[in-house]
Every structure is written in C-alpha cells, then in structure tokens.
Amino acid sequence: METHQLIARLLPEEERKEIEITRIKGDASNRQYFRLFRPSGTLVACIDPAFRGKPHQAYPFLAVGRLLAGAGVRVPEVVAVDSRDGLLLLEDCGDRMLQDEVETLGTDALAARYRQVIDILVRIQAIAPDGSQPFSLSFDHEKLMFEFDFFIRHALQGLFAGLLDEASILRLREEFEAISSLLVRPEHFVLNHRDFHSRNIMLFGDEPVVIDFQDARLGLPQYDAVSLLRDSYVHLDPSMVETLKQYHFGELEKRGLLSMGLEEYLRYFDLMAFQRNVKALGTFCYQVSVVGNATFERSIAPTVAFLPGYIEARPELSAAGRLLDPLISRFVR
C-alpha cells in the first residue's frame, strides 16, 4: 500500500479524498514524517518502523508522551495511531524551532526564552519514578560506553581514520571507561529527555512544545542541560551559558532535586558535556560517512570546539584531551 493510502486510512472517510500530503525532512532517525493538508487544518503523520506490531503501552513515544503531558509539559497531541503499520497522526506544531530564534532575538529576550525552556526541563526532571519504562533505563556504564564506542568506530576509525593509531585509540578507550565511571551516580539521577536541544523544542505560537522524547531515561540532571546549553546547532554567548547553568542549578535546588553544591554541579556539567559532545560527534560522523547525509558535516567543527574548554577545566579529562589532540587540532586553531 502506498504511503498516501496508509496515512489516509486514519482519517474519516469523508476527508480522505481532500488531503494533500508532503514529506517533512527529518533529523537523524529512522522515522519518516509527513504533513497532511486538510480543509479542517493540518496534521503531521509519523511512520516509525519501531512501532510496527507493538502494543501501544510498549511504544516509548506514547508512554513517555503521556508521562510528560501528565506533568504539564506541552507535547504534540496524538490524534490517531495504527501499530500494524507503525503509523501515528499528531497535532501539527509548525516548523519553527528554538534554533530559529537564537539569531533573531536580542540578548535579554533570548535569555528569557532559555529560562522558560529550562523551567520545562526542570518540570521533566521533577517527574517522580512510577515504574514505567523510562525509569527502567539509565545512563549506566554500558550506555555511556556504547556512545563512546560509537564515536571511536564512526569518527576515529571511520570519517577521521588515521588521525589516531590503534594504540592511542586503546588508551583513549581506557580514559573513556574512567570518565564513564565518574558519571554513573544513581543517587543524583533524574528523568532526562535525552536529546533536549534547540531542534527538539518547537515554538507553536509563542509556546515551547517538546518533541522527540521517546528515548527518555534516568541520568544526571546535567545531561539535558548540556544538550540545551552546549548545543551543536546554535552558538550561545558564553556568559549567558554560565548564567543559565546557575539558573538550572537554582531551580533544581528549589525543588529539592539536588544533593550537590554549585561547584560540584559545574564539575559534573563539564564531565557530562565532554561525554555528550563526543557522543554527538559519533552521530554526526555516522550520518556523514555511513548514511551519506552531508548536512551534519557542518555540526562537527562547532562540537569539537567545545572540547578544549572542558579539558582545560577538569583534570579528569586531561589524558583523554591529549589523546584527542590530533582531532581537536584539525578544527581548533
């Protein structure tokens, strides 16, 4: 059955002949997105192979979406679903992303917008464990090392093969093991969106809407803050970033979600930022060299440029930084 017919089956019969469907360019995922134009308004259709044949309660997008909505986080409304074909019809929240505002707003307005988004983040991180799927997953040692290994495979042994010899890669992996061990602190874990950056915050009217939340899991509260404030897709003024870190810390503290002081928060922020940005580099290199999606190439240099700051600030990262110098020197002069 053609895509148009699949999607049309979820609409009332009287609307099926009056719709126009266009493809929406997605990000780095296996999901396909389409916009439906109807006389009564637009919708977004998502085709996700991971949803095919699954019970609704076992599909993370639906489970996490209900969890976030129940906590007052604005997410797209689900209009209809068909697990047989892995199909969802969703509220259309437009095309304008937080990323689009960064270059257009003045300093004060941009800082206010980011404080508003951090308030949403803290609302997510305040959700209490209820035994549902996201709370059974975490950024444990295995997950963190999977992401580090993905970087090794697709960046150091893939797109940038030859920059480091195999002996250096083995030593670097040992450093990645040590860094991962520092970041596994379950006593500090909260719920994280897992990809909380400027392309996953839509602006519908003037209201931020959170998307792409299906991979939510437990981790340090700094993980999502890093995704937002050390974002590969936008450049924020460093002084604003420092102020927003402290804002996030203060809001977590107000809600009783922290058992660490500011200095410790900032230390874990840098360690987590190193891991998160290295993970992002692995994704970008995979998209460029394996998928053939060259649009991600432009995000490599700004992401590498974040690394020296963390390495200089935190002795725990110095050995890894020395080993990564051939890659860093390629992009940072």
What value does the mean pLDDT take over residues 316-324?
A: 98
Residue 104, pLDDT score: 93
pLDDT digits (tens, 9 = 90+) for 156-168: 999 999 999 999 9
Question: Average pLDDT of the chain?
Answer: 94
Give me the amino acid identity at 302: P
- 24 CA to centre of own chain: 19
Locate 230 and state its tokens: 């050390």
Q: Which residues contact 313 (CB under 8 A, 6 or more apart)?
A: 270
Helix (H, G, I), strand (E, B) or coil at 238: helix
Handedness of CA 87, 127, 92, 112 (dihedral sign): negative
Asked if 217 and 134 touch (Cβ cutoff 8 Å), the reply is yes
Q: What is the CA radius of gyration of the chain?
A: 21
Least-confidence region, from 1-5, 53-57, 210-214? 1-5
Separation CA 323–CA 62 (nearest Å): 42
What value does the mean pLDDT take over residues 127-134?
A: 91
Residue 188, pLDDT score: 97
Asked if 285 and 300 touch (Cβ cutoff 8 Å), the reply is yes
- Res 212 pLDDT > 60: yes
What value does the mean pLDDT take over residues 203-208?
A: 94
Residue 26, pLDDT score: 63
Alpha carbon of 303 to those of 60, 277, 291, 332: distances in Å? 29, 6, 20, 10
- Res 1 pLDDT > 60: no
pLDDT digits (tens, 9 = 90+) for 243-284: 999 999 999 999 999 999 999 999 999 999 999 999 999 999
The larger pLDDT score, comparing residue 23 to residue 152, is at 152
Alpha carbon of 109 to those of 121, 177, 230, 242: distances in Å? 18, 41, 19, 17
Q: What are phi and psi of 121, to 5 degrees?
A: -60, -45
Q: Strands, E, within the chain: which ranges?
A: 20-24, 32-38, 41-47, 78-82, 87-91, 190-192, 201-204, 207-210, 217-219
Residue whose structure tokens are 């402290």: 246
Helix (H, G, I), strand (E, B) or coil at 273: helix
